[in-house]
A and B are shown apart, each in its own frame.
Chain A
Amino acid sequence: MISNFIVSLVTFFPLLGIVLLLFVDKEKAQIIKLVGFITSLATFVLSLHLYFHFDSQVAGFQFVQQFVWIGGLNISYHVGIDGLSLLMILLTTFLTPIALLGTWNSIERRIREYTMMILLLETGMLGVFASLDLFLFYVFWEAMLIPMYFIIGLWGGQDRVYAAVKFFLYTLFGSLLMLVAIIALGYFASTMRGGAFTTNLVELYSVASRLPLTLQLWMFLAFALSFAIKVPLFPFHTWLPDAHVQAPTAGSVILAGVLLKMGTYGFIRFCVPLFPDATIVIAPYISVLAVVGIVYGALVSIVQTDIKKLVAYSSVSHLGFVVLGIFAMTEEGMQGAIIQMVNHGLSTGALFLLVGMIYDRVHTRKISDFGGVAKLMPVFASFLMIISLSSIGLPGLNGFVGEFLILLGAFNSTLLDNHAFAAFAALGVILSAVYLLWMYQRVMFGPVREGGLYNGHTLTDLTRREIVALIPIVLFVVWIGVYPETFLSKSAEVAKRTVQLIETTQRGAPIRYADSPDSSREPLH
């Protein structure tokens, strides 16, 4: 019964918190924070229903809900999830309350508006992951920009305004081309099936893959540009360090934890299955960019003097892994990419939280300002160690599972057919150990600063609230590292389906591209 509308309920539940907040006096900060936290926690609890009732054996989408929205254009409100969306939705609902809890006292002004923006953002993100209609997807995709713009621009650091505008312009540029591609796809698809314009993803899956290669290439590129900016794939990453560094901690956590996943999610959900022929052609090129991103991001991370910037660039590197995993087009690679999306959300989210926590204490993030912190903050030091190691990919922690599967996938890939991809990517793993452990050493060890003062402030260890926020993340970091099957089983079906589609296309390709007349591939004009 509840399964009929649970997806919509989860998606729009945060809006309830916004409505409640409208009636709360804006001076009562504690109540505002509590309302925000409880709403997001309740959203998480609701999303657990999805987890427990999700059937990993079923192919295709579950918990589907659909009704007509705009009849004339065949646009419907159509939501539903498969294993991929399930993991992403859980990640979102899991990270939002943690981000709010972990940064309880970081925001000092306009707390009510801030909480409302975070909740609005959550709805936007959940909507993106749940949409099964391209139009609906686009609406959520864009609607998300506005709260994020304000979160960065209002509650961010020194250069927040510049960063916010840059973030907005970059992402909008990509997404408008995607809009053009969405509409074009709707029309081309309608010519193919002789029917009306549609943006229904399920219908388009069966139709779009029959489009001629040139069209597929163009549309793939239009979609991919938007996703590549979001990921961000090298060389479209320049907005990311600005946005991450300037955003407030909770913003960074959500940005790194969830928003970046939308790019990779978009690749798996839209680019690959809609345009399989184009994927085969483009995959090597994107993989090259991904590998360049892995190495470049890692190298740039090494030389950063600002901890937050270091973490930001490490995202470029880690997301490169995810993209490589996707375009290796092997089952292991795809599985690794999906689990790595979750991993990165947890680890990098936690890293940003930890950076935020220490920043709240001393108002500096420069590595050179620190030293000997481990002696003053032993609990903090342990958390940072665990999370750094998870990010590096220590066996037994979550990062290892994802990176291992991705490297394996890239190595075995018939589509890429070159071991250099895996070799260079492996270099990224080593470099990640260099920059994270070096950073750790410089911050944590060495002599304590004179009088225990850092930037004029004393350091105190984590509070109980902060520990409570971090423990669930650590729990999952270990869980995935030890027994990833819990999550891999959920996404197995999506990975298999996507990879098989590409494999059949690849095998069928020579025949379908021969000059032999084929009624289903007639030109469109």
Chain B
Amino acid sequence: MVEQILVSVSRFLPEVTLTVTFCVAILGGLIFHKHPKTVGYLAFIGILVSIFCAVQQLGVSESVFSGMISVDPFAVFFKILIGSVALIIIAFSFFSAEVLTTVRRMGEYFSLLVAMTLGMFLMAGASNLLMMVLALELTSLSSYILAGYTKEAADSSEASLKYILYGALSSGVMLYGVSILYGLTGATDFIGVNKALALGTTSHVSLLVATIFIIVGFGYKISAVPFHFWTPDVYEGAPITITAFLSVASKAAGFAMMIRFFKVTFIDTHMVGLPSGMWASVSGFEWNKLLAILSVLTMTLGNLVAVWQNNLKRLLAYSSIAHAGYMLMGVVILSDKGLAAVLIYFIVYLFMNLGAFLVVMMVANKTGSEDIDTYKGLGYRSPLVGVAMVIFFISLTGLPPTAGFIGKLYLFSALLDAKWIWLAVVGAINSVVSLYYYVRVLRNMFLRDPEGNAGPLVFPTPQLTLLVVLMIPTILFGLYFTPIVNFANASLLMFGIQ
């Protein structure tokens, strides 16, 4: 028993590192209260080490803590992804005027960021219903506080409160679903649930109810319509660093948990004769149709509402809802190609979305506004930032030769491979709608003259450097993407599935 736990701990090093970093960050906040940035450096190093530990786990596929958590390429992929996002966000925080004004509480800020990262790491690996709920709660609780971090601003507090209320409701509903599922199958680990479902004796109605309830929890985390109501307000009210973190990492963790749950618990391992790379769901319940509807709703609503937004943060919030919709398309296919497409999309999405948020933050630092009118003539006030925003937005639209196109290409190609043609067409039409609002911003940046006598904007070199760092992969992966495709394909392996 003890030995088993010790072995498990040795497979649990990324999370252990994060836990230690969390404790160090709390103490660091107390010790270095005069130089709170030090805590940021500590957190940065801690997360870097945990990514390093995660990289060491590449190729491992096993389960630790009696099946609570899986350590497999799929989880490691998301740990590296989420860890990288966390690193970039810490770098963002050093530049953010919003965060830097709250010197006294900055220690908590960084330690909670680490706690949230830890929660997401656990979400990526959770292979037990209970672990799933616990990891979700850890992530959510940290993010509630961080969303309200700039508590002097009324909209930040409002964001936090709304986030808590929606979060509490949906995780409550999800927990109820989990308990029904446990009642139906008598198991809490995914593999056990799968075995029970494979017997085919489960009541379909109860299973449907349980799954819908659980989807509520997932939908809330990835902000899928109709569980998205919190997203715009929270994204707008929260400090922009947190908004960026939520929009990429939180979504990635949600997707990781959801994909694992659906794939491992619902896979029909006895099905034979399927084309390679495809799998079947246990009979009687087609959850993927449910997700397909969710996906269409999510991208359509996200895109249509984004068209009317004038606040850039809010616009990006709706755009991120739409992107969740695109990514859901990859989950509904029930094929390895679809999942690989989702993973590829996430890599690409990381760079382009964080890049767009960085530009918004840099401009907000200088002008104090996120309004679309602020961006008038930005392309001339600061050409580099303007060009960077063009690249990020073109990529978010999914046009070649940027990385966003590759993401969409693989998604569409997986859909068409599995004959989901109508869904691909809906996705394509949605991309056209999305172009409209992205181009609105570009239009303001380049085709309109600055308001008043606004002169050139000069940004500090470190910020511009980070911008270029995010910009290069956005273009590079549009032209040469074999490495990310290979990485994604190698990361499909989940523990418990041959």
Contact = CB atoms under 8 A, between A and B. Distances in A.
> Do A and B have CB atoms closer than 8 angstroms in the complex?
yes
Contacts of B394: 146
Given A70-B481, A168-B435, A180 B416 contact: yes
Interface stretch (A54-62, A182-190, A367-375, A434-442): A182-190
A183 B428 CA distance: 12
List the 8 shortest-distance A-B pairs measured between CB atoms, nearest first: A176-B428, A139-B400, A153-B447, A183-B413, A173-B432, A184-B416, A142-B400, A183-B416
Interface in A469-525: 525
Interface stretch (B65-73, B198-206, B417-425): B417-425
Given A153-B447, A161-B443, A165-B443, A183 B409 contact: yes
Contact of A70 (B417, B446, B482): B482
Contact of A72 (B416, B417, B448, B482): B482
B13 to A, nearest CB: 32
Given A161-B443, A180-B425, A169 B436 contact: yes
A143 B416 contact: no
B446 A187 contact: no
Which of A71, A138, A161 counts the most chain B CB atoms within 10 A? A161
A164 interface: yes
A183 B482 contact: no
Nearest to A110: B380
Contacts, number: 81
A169 B433 CA distance: 8
B31 to A, nearest CB: 49
Given A177-B425, A180-B412, A165 B432 contact: no
Given A138-B400, A150-B446, A176 B409 contact: no
Interface in A22-70: 70
A169 B432 contact: yes
A506 B399 CA distance: 38
Given A153-B447, A161-B448, A183-B413, A146 B399 contact: yes
Nearest to A145: B399
A58 B394 CA distance: 41
A222 to B, nearest CB: 9
A138 B424 CA distance: 17
Contacts of A168: 435, 439
A197 interface: yes
Contact of B446 (A71, A143, A153, A186): A153
Nearest to A70: B482
Contact of B416 (A70, A150, A177, A187): A187
Interface of A: 70-73, 138-139, 142-143, 145-146, 149-150, 153-154, 160-161, 164-165, 168-169, 172-173, 176-177, 179-180, 183-184, 186-187, 197, 525
A133 to B, nearest CB: 13
Contacts of A177: 425, 428
18 contacts: A70-B485, A72-B482, A138-B400, A139-B400, A143-B401, A146-B399, A149-B439, A153-B443, A153-B446, A154-B447, A168-B435, A168-B439, A169-B435, A172-B435, A179-B412, A179-B428, A184-B421, A525-B419
Interface in B432-486: 432, 435-436, 439, 443, 446-448, 481-482, 485-486
Contact of B431 (A71, A165, A176, A187): A176
A154 B482 CA distance: 36
B405 interface: yes
Contacts of B446: 150, 153-154
A341 B435 CA distance: 31
A165 B436 contact: yes
A183 B411 CA distance: 10
Contacts of B447: 153-154, 160-161, 164
B290 interface: no
Interface of B: 390, 394, 399-401, 405, 409, 412-413, 416-417, 419, 421, 424-425, 428-429, 431-432, 435-436, 439, 443, 446-448, 481-482, 485-486, 489
Given A180-B412, A184-B416, A187-B417, A72 B485 contact: yes
Contacts of A150: 446
B389 to A, nearest CB: 13
A16 B50 CA distance: 44
Contacts of A72: 482, 485-486, 489
A164 B405 CA distance: 21
Contact of B428 (A139, A154, A180): A180
A186 B439 CA distance: 31
A139 B482 CA distance: 17
Nearest to A164: B447
Nearest to A150: B446
Nearest to B400: A139
A139 B401 contact: yes
Nearest to B406: A70
Contacts of B405: 139, 142
B446 to A, nearest CB: 6
Contacts of A143: 399-401
B306 to A, nearest CB: 15
Given A168-B435, A183-B416, 4 more contacts: A72-B486, A161-B447, A176-B432, A183-B409
A22 B5 CA distance: 61
A359 to B, nearest CB: 21
Contacts of B435: 168-169, 172
A460 B412 CA distance: 57
A186 B413 contact: yes
Contacts of A70: 481-482, 485
A179 B424 CA distance: 10
A525 B275 CA distance: 12
A478 to B, nearest CB: 40
Contacts of A161: 443, 447-448
Nearest to A185: B416
B401 to A, nearest CB: 6
Given A142-B400, A169-B436, A180 B417 contact: no
A72 B406 CA distance: 13
Contacts of B486: 72
A73 B413 CA distance: 10
B66 to A, nearest CB: 38
A411 to B, nearest CB: 39
Nearest to A136: B400
B265 to A, nearest CB: 29
Contacts of A160: 447
A150 B416 CA distance: 33
A90 B310 CA distance: 46
Contacts of B390: 146
A170 to B, nearest CB: 9
A149 B399 CA distance: 13
B413 A172 contact: no
Contacts of A169: 432, 435-436, 439
Contacts of B443: 153, 161, 164-165
